[in-house]
Structure 1
Amino acid sequence: MDAASSLGIDKIGFASAEPFTELKDILLRHREKGFESGFEEPDIEKRVNPELSFESPKSIISIAVAYPSKLPNPPRSEPGAYRGIISRSSWGSDYHDVLRDRLAKLEAFIAERVPDARLMSMVDTGVLVDRAVAERAGIGWSGKNCAVITPEWGSWVYLGDMITNIPFTPDTSIMDQCGDCTICIDACPTGALVGPGQLNSSRCISFITQTKGYIDDEYKRKIGNRIYGCDTCQIVCPKNKGMNWTHQPELQPDPEKVKPLLIPLLTMTNKEFKEQYGRIAASWRGKKPIQRNAIIALGNFRDQSAVPILSELLLADPRPEIRATCAWALGRIGGEEASSALNNAQAKEQEPAVRQDIEKAITAVSQSASR
């Protein structure tokens, strides 16, 4: 552990490389119920059998790197200057890069001492289920919120894996410490946690904010001012109470970047987006989902000062999902200016899905005015 700490690794554990046989049944049931996000490795056999990715594996090393949960001096949302929020997992530098750096250092450390070592590292997008590896390696237990919870760092940790031909002595798994607690399940804004350790990804706000295209109306209000990700099930977890980690320099947040003003996001060019957000994990889907989510947030704030830019985008933006979302937001905000913009757009809009949202928004403004 001392060596791991010197490499910037907060916790390290060792697991056997035997197939994850029990996990296979869980993943199959998850798929049958339609709970997958679509971001996973599609081949379930590869997800549960390390030998399909690495010849004659003997061990899997799991690492955890802790990240912050509290924003120092957070800027405040104010009328006319409302802000969105990016989830904690995307604060600081992209965790994929940070973990790859830590794993590369660990690979070099091992290779120097074991010349014939074979090593294959994976971060998030690898074929194995990193939470299952971490659980087997004694990093933590799998919480009811589907996060790995460590006794030392809570669930505010990134996970990485390394398969190797070195037969390390396996660590002992940690017993589940959630007990009868269901706070995370009860707090989930959309009911995406359908049971202990069971997540319906299609209902998860973290997943929804990363999708491209249209968002169902039932989720828009529940998104609130989240423009990327969701931390609710971790924030409410009693095991995370008082835990905030500031010792990893690359992972510390820029408050203005992770709690940004919403209106400026709407006119940001691709170049500006890359300059401001290109180095954080939230940038991987590009600017469109974040802009769409910012529009939803402005609607939820009912920000009258946003009506001019929302009206402009409704009439002129080439992206139908942006126009449709602007219509919804204007319907939420209401007022004569919003009503005028919606009626103008209705006369010009050709896309059926957008026209439908404009009509719903016109109805919403009319009903609001009659109250």
Structure 2
Amino acid sequence: MNRTLLRRLAIIAIAPALVACSSDNSPTADDAGPAGPQRAAVSWLADQPAADGLFTSHYADVETGKTVAFVDHGLNLDLYAALTELGDDKTAETVYRATIEKADEYTDPPGGTRYAGAVGKLASMVQAHGDDANALGSRHLIDELEALLVKKGEEAGRAKDSPDSEFQSTNIVNQAWVVRALATAGSDDADAAIDFLLKQQCDDGSFREEMTAAPCADGRGSVDGTAFAIQSLQVAADEGSDEVEDDIAEAVDWLIGAQAEDGSFGGADGANVNSTGLGAVALALTGHDQPAAQAAAWVASLQVADGPEKGAIALNEADRSAAGSKAIADVDRDRYVRASVQAVRALTALPAENASGSR
């Protein structure tokens, strides 16, 4: 697999002019049309990494009230993917190189646990970049993933953290990254990983997020779990995996049925750009352009239109209004970056007649 994986998953090719985007937030005629939101997004996202090439997250300590800084390497991989999707290869490359230098901190942080989802996500991004996931310095990521798969029994094909314990962090999102990495690598274990992923598909076509060994004979899954599963299964199908087309089609049918009239997707807490962005990408990837465009338009409506944070995509209407005229505080910036990198790929589904991506 070469570096085209991320762009092959895109809905529409990004205009070459996006590569030359600057961080100038002044409005121009180029802000009009479907490419305008993309230009604004890449400009804002490109300003987020620090001098070392990594975006630094922050959180407020509940006991002391102090703001604590930390580097979330998984989020930086998402930032790399978003910048690649938008055509800012230079900044994307900086983020990628800085992140893989910290690969051990990401997949095997202090404490003695190797996280299967982190290994799968890292391997997928390394493959998308065009590098050999089995030759990342001293790391052999595909071999490591294969070693993390359960080999027999009801859980055969499930990727699990090592050492195994009752506090497994693996869920369907992590399994989806593992499926993508193994399928792209042509691993002999890819089919087993796919089979366990398909156990999580419920009878209504959706995918549950929390995995179990028992097939999901009834119940309802989630938008996020279903969208992630669709994307990974589509990659597997493109790489030659057989007999997943019907499963993808059933999942897409459920996803379309879960979309609100305004184009948004959400969960128990209501509509949000993360779920809507994921839904838009899954729909467009499978050729459902109209519902994908409706989702994209809803995402674009939550993009900050002007001010110091022009181009950021807010999680919801409250966040969009809060960032409309002032700089985002460090303790809140992480939330906007997470929302933006997960939602930004949806912007490529904006219809040509869309006059503006933000309001």
Q: TM-score, structure 1 length as denominator?
A: 0.28
Q: TM-score, structure 2 length as denominator?
A: 0.29
The structure richer in strand per residue is 1
Report the structure number with the largest CA radius of gyration: 1
